Amino acid sequence: MVPQLYIGIMSGTSLDGIDLVLTDFTTKPSLLGSCLIPFPASLQRELRSLAEPGNNEVERIGPAEHQLAECYAAGVKQLLKQVNYLPEQISAIGCHGQTIRHRPNQLQPFTMQLGNMHLLAALTGIRVIADFRRKDMAYGGQGAPLVPAFHQAVFAKAGKNRAVVNIGGIANISLLQADGTITGYDTGPGNCLMDDWVSLHRQLPYDKDGAFSAEGELLPELLQQLLADDYFQLSAPKSTGREYFHLGWLRQKLTGLEAPADVQRTLSRFTALSIANELQLPNLSEVFICGGGVHHPVLMADLQQLLTPAKVQSSSSAGVDPDWVEAMAFAWLAQAFDKQLPGNVPAVTGARKACVLGVSYSP
């Protein structure tokens, strides 16, 4: 049997770095290796800036895409060296790209993920599958989230109602029901507001071990204001991004008199509630958490409190490392493209039909 080896690359809205995995799909998905490549500080700042409306964006996008492809390629080379594989042994790279805009609800909906995929293929010598979202949007879908199909393949169990929650910059859920049906959508902010707030007040990239949140007290009035946003009243399918939930959005809700630690504690509860409110399902038995949020003890404790009696646990309990689930999902989408299998779930995205997602870029 010829090995089916795919690299998955994911750089999400948290902008904490580039996740890369090597996954073997010869039988069941098997993680062979992984690595995290930090963004150069200047590129991280530029990508964060491009995620919000600004000046001279077209002129700035070109260099950002070039540098991003170089970072992706450096990560691929590091990963292959780490696992002792050669480029010619890899079937393809599945690359999500870096989202800077996601506007699925406009009259002319669009989404934009940066990354010069031709350059990535040229630098690595490996075929690249990318541009996964726009085919779904062409058929009326939200273009996101795209991980539920992978979640179903890995986490679903007949006869059990399960949920998978990915808490990256934005949080998304996959509801895997006992009868085999699946739904899912973006619930709202995951770590993005917490990361931005701790960066502003503690000059830290994220709230390590939930320490900043643990210092604060809940602000009930602020919490209610945050939850009153129109996004949480929308019916699924729905998706969002950092271009909507950012510091400017948060500042509009503040008086300026709040203690920074109290705001951080409230943001943690806000993320937990915006997720838990969407998981109030009868007979929900297990909730698997993946993404950076799994390492935030305050957030995890809030989720367990809000979702009891369901058991809230890391995806590692199902044999999938929580830090690499999304990158594995895009490796899975690349092999689905090669097999000409649908990569979207219309019940999740709202697309008119199931589609093969992606575009192939040859080296």
Between 3 and 301, name the one with better pLDDT: 301
Average pLDDT over residues 121-145: 96
CB 184 within 8 A of CB 145: yes
How far is Cα 359 from Cα 363, in angstroms, rounded to an integer? 13
Annotated binding-site residue? 262:
no
- Is pLDDT above 70 for 117? yes
How far is Cα 113 from Cα 97, in angstroms, rounded to an integer? 5
Between 336 and 27, name the one with better pLDDT: 336
Annotated binding-site residue? 159:
no
Average pLDDT over residues 12-29: 89
Average pLDDT over residues 20-28: 94
Q: Is the peptide bond before 237 cis (omega within 30 degrees of 0)?
A: yes
Average pLDDT over residues 148-174: 93
Annotated binding-site residue? 19:
yes
Residue 7 backbone dihedrals phi, psi, to 5 degrees? -95, 135
CB 232 within 8 A of CB 245: no
pLDDT tens-digit profile of 301-351? 999 999 999 999 999 999 899 999 999 999 999 999 999 999 999 999 999
Determine the distance from the C-alpha atom of residue 303 to the mean position of all C-alpha atoms in its chain, rounded to a whole number: 18
Longest dimension (CA), the chain: 64
Q: Which distant-in-sequence residues (6+ apart) come within 8 Å of 323 by Cβ?
A: 19, 34, 36, 290, 291, 292, 294
pLDDT tier, 47 (very low <50, low <70, confident <90, very high otherwise): very high
Please give the mean pLDDT across all residues of the chain.
94
Q: What is the pLDDT of residue 28?
A: 84
Hey, what domains does the chain have and what are their CATH numbers? 5-142+330-361 (3.30.420.40), 148-318 (3.30.420.40)
- Residue 68, judged by CB atoms within 10 A of its CB (0-12, 13-18, 19+), counts as buried
The candidate with the shortest Cα–Cα distance to 147, out of 328, 339, 352, is 328
Q: What is the pLDDT of residue 282?
A: 82
Q: What is the pLDDT of residue 330?
A: 97
For the record, the structure tokens of 33 come out as 């290796």
The candidate with the shortest Cα–Cα distance to 209, out of 274, 271, 294, is 294
pLDDT tier, 1 (very low <50, low <70, confident <90, very high otherwise): low
Using DSSP's 3-state secondary structure scheme, residue 298 falls into: helix
Average pLDDT over residues 258-263: 98
For the record, the structure tokens of 342 come out as 């649908």
Tokens 């075929």 -> residue: 127
Residue 238 backbone dihedrals phi, psi, to 5 degrees? -155, 150
CB 326 within 8 A of CB 19: yes
For the chain, what percent of residues have pLDDT higher than 90?
88
Annotated binding-site residue? 16:
yes
The candidate with the shortest Cα–Cα distance to 12, out of 330, 231, 345, is 330
For the chain, what percent of residues have pLDDT higher than 70?
99
How far is Cα 354 from Cα 204, in angstroms, rounded to an integer? 42
Between 53 and 355, name the one with better pLDDT: 355
Annotated binding-site residue? 13:
yes
User: Which residues is 30 bridged to in the sheet?
Assistant: 24
Q: What is the pLDDT of residue 16?
A: 81
Using DSSP's 3-state secondary structure scheme, residue 190 falls into: coil
pLDDT tens-digit profile of 227-254? 999 999 999 999 998 889 999 999 999 9
Annotated binding-site residue? 14:
yes
The candidate with the shortest Cα–Cα distance to 172, out of 191, 157, 185, is 185
Using DSSP's 3-state secondary structure scheme, residue 173 falls into: strand
- Indicate the pTM of the whole model: 0.87
Q: Which helix (H) or strand (E) holds 227?
A: helix 220-227
- Is pLDDT above 80 for 203? yes
Annotated binding-site residue? 18:
yes
